[in-house]
């Protein structure tokens, strides 16, 4: 049971499900760091993790075993459940939790493309949950889906451009860290790296390919007909759904449902934080100076674009941070107007094509932080 309570007696009761996993632990850390007001937090995990103690706000949480019973015994109603225990648990328990009056914020892929379930990034499409704002003990339950980590990081960077100029096409290459596969992936990277440095031959222990000093196509399954893996398809489908819910008055296909997006998703031997290389074609011409200005004032985005110092976003710079880092801003030379040559000020040339490089902490903004931000929108924040 929770022994670390907040003084906000009228705040929501919060359950973190999957609390001993990489994202679950990060959810607790984010709840603590953001001073999210609640009357209690309860931690749930599998039977084998029950009884573990997790530090929280000067006290500790004793992990409880998740069962089929909801609301769980040993306490009152649960107002908000943050789920990060896998799609199987989400599918089994999410509807039951929502039926009991709990607002479920699910980090798995279980409900992302389900009609009627909001797929929400607070800085991008807050209107998707506008009808769910409530206080503890009031209103019915609901399910809200956290987008995939790569989708969140991408859309934090390019949605400000979509709002300002419209986005016609995106070409994205991802550099995805071990953290995207949870503790198992992170431990595999460390274990295999130590083995290779110790003189052993590279070998695969968790992923289909050796991870140490290697990179490979994302380990999700590949559609034989399209050649796209699951991670790439998620970015396409989720971007279209989220941008369809923007509510910013963008008409026609460019409202989101028909945006053209090509993704190549790759796992790289980095412990934490994903990076993405993005080529964007805007709907109308603008200048690099205007693109830079839009991104500089975007919520949740931090510019890191020092050409002279060759200092740009990296996984280490993004790890542990709340913001998505954006840099390497430049004009796409393949889309420059005919006749533009050397000596032209590329900051002021009007064009539709631009390149940028993005880095974001997959465990935080790509997962836990986004979920807590949704809870803050619904239950009133800190």
Please, where are the H alpha helices in the chain? Answer: 22-33, 87-99, 149-165, 182-197, 230-244, 288-296, 315-318, 369-379
The single residue listed with the structure tokens 């279209």 is: 240
Residues in the chain: 382
CA angle 330, 335, 338 (to 5 degrees): 120
pLDDT band at 363 (very low <50, low <70, confident <90, very high): very high
49 closest CA partner among 76, 80, 16: 16
CB-based contact 106:144 (threshold 8 Å):
yes
Residue 154 has pLDDT above 70, yes or no: yes
Residue 188: both structure tokens together: 């595999």
Query: What digits encode the pLDDT tens for the residues 229-257?
Result: 999 999 999 999 999 877 544 444 445 55
Q: What is the pLDDT of residue 340?
A: 76
pTM, two decimals, is 0.93
> What mean pLDDT is predicted for residues 44-73?
94
Catalytic sites, residue numbers:
149, 274
By mean pLDDT, which of 60-74, 247-261, 332-346 is the weakest?
Answer: 247-261
Residue 341 has pLDDT above 80, yes or no: no
Q: What is the mean pLDDT of the chain?
A: 91
Share of residues in the chain with pLDDT > 90 (%): 82
In CATH terms, is domain 13-147+367-379 a member of 3.50.50.60?
Answer: no
Q: What is the pLDDT of residue 138?
A: 58
Q: What is the pLDDT of residue 229?
A: 94
Q: Which helix (H) or strand (E) holds 239?
A: helix 230-244
Return all residues near 67 (Cβ < 8 A) that are at least 6 apart.
none
Q: How far apart are the first and last CA of the chain?
A: 23
What is the CATH architecture of 151-362?
2-Layer Sandwich (3.30)
Count how many Cα atoms sit within 13 Å of the Cα of residue 85 in the half-sphere of its side chain. 26
- DSSP class of residue 222? B
What residue spans in the chain does CATH classification 3.40.50.720 cover?
Answer: 13-147+367-379
Q: What is the pLDDT of residue 4?
A: 46
By mean pLDDT, which of 54-58, 220-224, 243-247 is the weakest?
Answer: 243-247
């Amino acid at each position: 049971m929770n022994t670390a309570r907040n003084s906000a007696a009228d705040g929501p009761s919060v359950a973190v499900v999957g609390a001993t996993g990489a994202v679950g632990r990060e959810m607790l850390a984010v709840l603590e760091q953001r001073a999210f007001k609640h009357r209690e937090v309860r931690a749930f995990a599998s039977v084998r993790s029950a009884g573990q103690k997790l530090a929280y706000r000067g006290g500790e949480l004793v992990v409880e075993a998740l069962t089929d019973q909801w609301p769980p015994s040993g306490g009152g109603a649960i107002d908000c459940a943050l789920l990060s225990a896998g799609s199987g648990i989400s599918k089994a328990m999410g509807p039951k939790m929502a039926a009991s009056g709990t607002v479920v914020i699910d980090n798995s892929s279980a409900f992302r493309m389900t009609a009627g379930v909001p797929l929400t990034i607070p800085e991008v499409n807050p209107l998707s949950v506008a009808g769910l704002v409530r206080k503890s003990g009031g209103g019915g339950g609901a399910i809200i889906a956290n987008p995939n980590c790569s989708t969140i990081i991408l859309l934090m960077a390019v949605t400000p451009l979509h709002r300002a100029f419209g986005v016609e096409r995106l070409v994205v290459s991802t550099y995805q860290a071990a953290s995207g596969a949870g503790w198992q992936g992170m431990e595999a990277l460390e274990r295999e790296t130590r083995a290779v440095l110790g003189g052993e031959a590279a070998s695969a222990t968790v992923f289909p390919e050796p991870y140490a000093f290697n990179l490979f196509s994302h380990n999700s399954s590949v559609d034989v007909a399209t050649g796209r893996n699951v991670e790439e398809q998620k970015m396409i489908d989720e971007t279209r759904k989220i941008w369809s819910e923007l509510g910013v008055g963008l008409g026609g296909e460019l409202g989101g449902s028909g945006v053209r997006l090509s993704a190549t998703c790759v796992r790289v031997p980095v412990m934490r934080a994903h990076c993405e290389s993005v080529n964007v074609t805007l709907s109308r011409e603008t200048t690099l100076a205007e693109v830079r200005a839009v991104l500089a004032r975007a919520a949740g985005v931090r510019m890191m674009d020092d050409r002279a110092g060759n200092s740009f976003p990296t996984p280490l710079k993004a790890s542990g941070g709340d913001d998505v880092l954006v840099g390497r801003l430049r004009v796409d030379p393949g889309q420059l107007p005919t006749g533009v040559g050397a000596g032209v000020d590329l900051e002021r040339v009007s064009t539709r094509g631009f390149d940028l490089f993005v880095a974001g902490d997959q465990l935080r903004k790509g997962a836990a932080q986004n979920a807590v931000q949704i809870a803050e929108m619904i239950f009133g924040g800190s």
